[in-house]
Amino acid sequence: MITITINGKEIKLEKPVTVLEAAKSAGIKIPTLCSHEQLEKYGGCRLCLVEVEKIPRLQTACTLMVADGMVIKTETEQIADVRRGILEFLLINHPLDCPYCDKAGECELQDLVVKYGPATSRFKEKKRKVPGGLEDPILVRNMERCIVCTRCVRMCEGVQGASAIAVINRGGHSHIEPFSGGRFDCEYCGNCVSVCPVGSIMSRLHRHSYRPWQLMSETETICPYCGVGCTLVVQVRDDIIKRVVPRIGTPVNNGLLCSRGRFGYEFVGSKERLTTPLIKKNGMLEQATWEEAISLVAKRLGEIKDNFGSSAMGGIASPRCTNEDNYVFQKFMRVVLETNNIDSTARTGFAGAQGFIENIFGQGATANIIPGLSNSDAVFIIGGDPTAINPILGLQIRACSRGGGNILTIGHIKGLEKFNPVVLKPEFYSETVLLEGIVSALKNKKGLPGSNQKLEAKVKGINTAVEEIGEKCGITEEDFTKFIEILSESSTPSIVIGKEIAQSSGGSYKLLLISAINYLMNARIYLLSERANEQGLLDMGCAPDLLPGYRTLTFAEFRKRYETAWKVSLPEKTGLSIFEMIDAAKNGSLKAVYIMGENPVFNLPNSKAVEEALKNIDFIVVQDIFLTETGKLADVVLPALSWSEKDGTFTNMERRIQRLRKAVNREGMEDWMIIAEISKNMGAKFNYSEAEDVFKEIARVSPLYRDMTYEEIEKGDAIYPYKGEPLRGVTEEIQVHNPPEPPLSKGGLRGIAAGKLYLRLERPLFHSGTLSRKAPALVNIYPEAVARISLATAKSLSLKAGDIVKVSTKIGSLELPVEIDKKVDSSAIMLSNNFEDKGAFSLMEYTIDPVIKAPCLDGNEAKIEKVK
Amino acid sequence: MFSEAAIKELEEIRQKYPSARAALLPAIYIAQKEFGWLSQDAYEAVANALGVPKAIARGVGTFYAMYKHKPLGRNIVQLCTNVSCMILGAERLVDFLKNKYGLEPGGTTPDGRFSLVIMECIGACGTAPAMLVNDDFYENLTEEYIEEILGKYK
Ligand code: SF4
Ligand code: SF4
Ligand code: SF4
Ligand code: FES
Ligand code: FES
């Protein structure tokens, strides 16, 4: 126990902390400018100087550690004098353009000058001028205001890990610049903006549009973009979102955000939002009233059900909608339309991968706390770049590396390249062999533990020699051995799995091998999730084989539970997956489909074929916030309220249930309410007056979310397994599908040298499905689709950056500008699937893995030729 | 892009320091020698060669006045105009350079032969006015003497 005295108050401390922290814990405020709780200690601004008895000179409270018996004074005349002096020095150059500065009102310098004076500086020379600062579309720099506290630099380097900005020049001329001196060209997390104490780096999105004290409300809610589920605060004035900021102390992201969360909010106020229902008349979508639209939907769905039966109907749910929306959606499909044909784009990877892993390890195998990653001593990453797909989770991996943990990656991962990764880069399409090799090596080193017989039976026979890895994967024995050594010596390893695993050939077999690695290493699994409520949607039973609570439909006992709760009898047969629905549409057996908050015509591979198939369907309802590619095919389009306009809950990838709150008012209905209205029109009683009513029902009927309440969720207690019953012991046989990987070599040559290129999907940090298209800030950062090729490809085809090329596959072609990326495999062309009419999925065919039902996108051969 | 010789030199230098960042100063010098001045490309080359973030490399380099951040002439004239030199007529010499050679402080002659950098005391107050041309030192300057000196530099 350490006892110190600050301003006469005795303070007892368990462990040594800084004087600043000790004072804070006792409610004593010491002024600071350069210190920040999220950053490393610095001691640069000298504002926190305090008097310490027996130490002759003033000391910086932010760096001085307490020692037993210290007697400290924080406000004396001497200290006030010094602080006044420091501030006067800062004001030599600081412009005091507060009337014009967006920071005024929440500026730390302004507040300190108010408290410690001086009103003006004695310095008569001209203040410095720093030209420029408006070159970037997102971040404005106003470097006359910079007080060189280096908080932004320490944030960018020490927390974000981007190292995109630095102090340049020296003395009175020093200020902050990104490398280019103009545009930031960085990760655009905006975390530098959060920590700047003055108005030197600010968001351009709300520039000069309001003063901080004019905000009408601040609402804490959850990010609409990815499965990390960051808490963010939406600041609103006149029902327009002015700014989105993080909050320190929130469980998942603790004061940090990524570009999408911070700058991607403008879609809410977009002028392109749907405002009224639309009904197709003579091939044209025309505005209609809600009454017309709802009664038409009810009538047509009723007719189709009567004429063709329930199995002719399908529903596609949304990983962007709330648990409440998705629960009501599946209940409508099961109770009113009487079909289990319910699925979502979670089927493109997440659902199957999670189901597969849970079948081996039990429910909750992927429910691991994200910040825990930084405490691992090794993180094994495969199947995608976590720093782009789930950026805040990516930061935890970077923090792990900074703290001395090992980063082990299969394939090159761009966002981690500066974090000393140990990389095994197998030749294109030889991942399976490498994984078999890792399993074999770990088995030899560690031996099978014997606790999971089913899994062991599957992997016992695997025995891949190092030579085979060298031959097939092009990995040296030395590299392989080093990798295995680090992995096997780790005692708290984590495994991060991206969607590319589920979307590659032998997806289920690769998952088996990764599960085996997990088993042999006793690791924790993190399954990357591209959508905010992918997990929740599955928990709500929006899958052809699942009931709410992630309960297998085919178990009579589970079915009975819901039959009692909903007072109906439920269809027994497993429904169609999203891909099976597309097939059924193609062959004419699917007559009606209800699509909520999803754009399958763009977001499913072979999108042109999906479009053709959907055109075959008699009646399509699309419920969305924008008129998407899919909406254009619909017979009825229903406008829904969007994120930040409604209440509800999301369940993130660590299975934490979190509250989504309404921040802006807009006329309209939530997704669940629209569906409840339609149900009413079809003779079913769905009596909910607000989202919480729906949640209460979920908490009553779902064994997983049992007895959960909004109140508890708000307290932050909704961590898996809640108070529910995780499903245990209901495992099925482990099945895998292991087709040969696509052949690659041609006379020993690979990639462009063999004249063969393959299409691969790029998953950019700045985009997310088709939603980010409507967020101008994200579009400004990453404005158009590009074809990313390797240096080798560029050389052999004499292409340079910016050239327009035609990329074609068997099923189509796209014209795109070229970007050359040293790290792209020489066998690959990378294309994103985010931009209108330029989606990679229009060129990609797929085969379905029969076990995880995910589309395998491997082996799409592409040609590329110069257009101009 | 660095020449092979420069890459070799960089590698050797890197070995002498415990971390890549510590090797930045000599590495930036090598880049300056290689490219003549420190353009963005030069910083990028240094950053890539050492594996240091490029913004940081540039931040470190811009701290030091003796790195060149714009293209300069073939010969660099560093003329002192601080107190002693000023009293003994350095300002007239500045005018002389301007009129005779078209050489402005901070500027470069149109033929790229000379650049002029104004210095704050080069430690030659006793023999002021003084200047450096490249690495050569000259004192007790007069207009005629300067003309004679500069004639030697092509
Ligand atoms: S936005 Fe993020 S990456 Fe960009 S400079 Fe700021 S902290 Fe660094
Ligand atoms: S820009 Fe802001 S945070 Fe960065 S050094 Fe200047 S004042 Fe500090
Ligand atoms: S990491 Fe995901 S949840 Fe967090 S701010 Fe970014 S997009 Fe949103
Ligand atoms: S806050 Fe302590 S020196 Fe800046
Ligand atoms: S003042 Fe010119 S050398 Fe000292």
- ipTM attached to this prediction: 0.89
- Closest ligand 5 atom number to CA of residue B121: 4
In a mutational test of the pocket of ligand 1, which residue from A150, A160, A183, A258 has the highest number of ligand atoms less than 8 Å from its CB? A160
| CA–centroid distance, residue A261 to ligand 3 (Å) | 5
Can you give the pLDDT at residue A467? 92
Q: Which residue of chain B has the CA closest to A184?
A: B55
Q: What is the largest CA-CA distance in chain A?
A: 93
Residue A453 has φ and ψ, to the nearest 5°, of -65, -40
Out of B51, B56, B64, closest to residue A166 by CB: B56
B138-148 pLDDT, tens digit per residue, is 999 999 999 99
Q: Is A482 exposed, middle or buried (0-12, 13-18, 19+ CB in 10 A)?
A: middle
pTM for this model (two decimals): 0.94
Query: Is the confidence at residue A255, as pLDDT, over 90?
Result: yes
Ligand sitting nearest the alpha carbon of A83: 4
DSSP A691-744: HHHHHHHHHHH-SSSTT--HHHHHHT---TTTTS----S---------PPPPP-
Model confidence at A538, in pLDDT bands (50, 70, 90)?
very high
Q: Which domains does chain A have, with CATH numbers?
A: 2-75 (3.10.20.740), 131-267 (2.20.25.90), 278-344+542-715 (3.40.50.740), 363-527 (3.40.228.10), 758-866 (2.40.40.20)
Ligand sitting nearest the alpha carbon of A156: 1
Sign, CA dihedral B37-B41-B47-B48, equals: negative
d(CA A318, CA A595): 8
B62 and chain A: CB distance < 8 Å anywhere? Answer: yes
Give the closest residue to A675 by CA, choosing from A339, A315, A347, A340.
A315
Contact B84 CB / ligand 5 (< 6 Å): yes
Ligand sitting nearest the alpha carbon of B78: 5
Model confidence at A368, in pLDDT bands (50, 70, 90)?
very high
Could you tell me whether strands A619-624 and A636-639 are parallel, antiparallel, or unpaired per DSSP bridges?
parallel
Query: From edge to edge, which strands make up the β-sheet containing A217-222?
Result: A217-222, A231-237, A240-245
Contact A186 CB / ligand 1 (< 6 Å): yes
High-pLDDT (> 70) share of chain B, %:
100
Can you give the pLDDT at residue A634? 98
Query: Is the confidence at residue A192, as pLDDT, over 80?
Result: yes
Can you give the pLDDT at residue A744? 60
Tens of pLDDT, residue by residue, chain B (154 residues): 899 999 999 999 999 999 999 999 999 999 998 998 999 999 999 999 999 999 999 999 999 988 989 888 999 999 999 999 999 999 999 999 999 999 999 999 999 999 999 998 999 999 999 999 998 999 999 999 999 999 999 8
**Is the Cβ–Cβ distance between A197 and A151 less than 8 Å?**
yes
Model confidence at A826, in pLDDT bands (50, 70, 90)?
confident
Can you give the pLDDT at residue A754? 66
- Quick one: tokens of A254? 């603790």
Sign, CA dihedral A686-A687-A689-A692, equals: negative
Q: How far is the first Cα of chain A from the last one, in angstroms, to the nearest whole number?
A: 73
Can you give the pLDDT at residue A756? 78
B56 and chain A: CB distance < 8 Å anywhere? Answer: yes
Query: Is the confidence at residue A532, as pLDDT, over 90?
Result: yes
CB contact under 8 A, A179 and B54: yes
Task: Write the CA distances from A643 to A264, A461, A771, integer angstroms.
Answer: 12, 50, 11
Q: Which residue of chain B has the CA closest to A186?
A: B55
Can you give the pLDDT at residue A243? 96
A270-323 pLDDT, tens digit per residue, is 999 999 999 999 999 999 999 999 999 999 999 999 999 999 999 999 999 999
Residues pairing with A231 in the sheet: A222
Q: What is the largest CA-CA distance in chain B?
A: 51
Out of B53, B54, B63, closest to residue A169 by CB: B63
CB contact under 8 A, A178 and B55: yes
A761-812 pLDDT, tens digit per residue, is 999 999 999 999 999 999 999 999 999 999 999 999 999 999 999 999 999 9
Query: Is the confidence at residue A728, as pLDDT, over 80?
Result: no
Out of B53, B56, B62, closest to residue A169 by CB: B62
Q: In sequence order, which residues have a C-beta less than 8 Å from that of residue A426 and are 6 or more positions away?
A: A410, A411, A433, A434, A473, A474, A475
d(CA A221, CA B37): 51
Mean pLDDT, all residues of chain A: 95
Can you give the pLDDT at residue A745? 53
Model confidence at A740, in pLDDT bands (50, 70, 90)?
confident
The one-letter amino acid code at A836 reads: E
Out of B43, B55, B64, closest to residue A163 by CB: B55
Query: Is the confidence at residue A727, as pLDDT, over 90?
Result: no
Find chain A residues with C-beta within 8 A of B59's C-beta: 166-168, 177
Q: Which of A440-450 are b and which e, b meaning 16 or more Cβ less than 10 Å from the residue's Cβ?
A: bbbbeeeebee
d(CA A352, CA A546): 12
Contact B5 CB / ligand 5 (< 6 Å): no
Alpha helices in A407-497 (DSSP H): 431-446, 453-459, 466-473, 477-489
Q: Which domains does chain B have, with CATH numbers?
A: 4-63 (1.10.10), 75-150 (3.40.30.10)
